Amino acid sequence: MSENRSPHILSTSANLLGICFIVLTSLKKLALTDGSIIDEFAVAAVMFFMTSCILSFISMRRERNASKKLEKVADFVFLSGLVVLFVATILIAFNLIK
């Protein structure tokens, strides 16, 4: 486990953050936010991915010991964002939320 995962976490989080912003913008432009909780899921994912981006960026700038701790936290936050997106996708796919 000596490899540095922070650059991978940063780039992937940034990509998924952009996708979440596209979803939010589409929902707002198409006025689909009334009575929908999809935008709340997207905002939660944005918060997780933005936090993951910040933590992984700081991790790359720190010394090795502090870097590993920040990298683990960024990894956990990133996984949390993925879980939020997964749950939202499953709920939408099975028409449980509109």
Q: What is the pLDDT of residue 35?
A: 56
DSSP assignment of the chain equals --S--HHHHHHHHHHHHHHHHHHHHHHHHTT--TT-SHHHHHHHHHHHHHHHHHHHHHHHHS-HHHHHHHHHHHHHHHHHHHHHHHHHHHHHHTTS--
98 inside domain = no
Q: What is the pLDDT of residue 81?
A: 94
Q: What is the pLDDT of residue 24?
A: 82
82 inside domain = yes
Q: What is the pLDDT of residue 32?
A: 64
User: What would the two tokens of residue 38 be?
Assistant: 């999809």
What does the pLDDT look like over 21-50, one tens digit per residue? 888 888 778 776 665 688 888 899 999 999
Mean pLDDT estimate for the chain: 84
- Total domain count for the chain? 1
1 inside domain = no
- pLDDT band, residue 78 (cuts 50/70/90): very high
Show the domain range for 62: 6-93
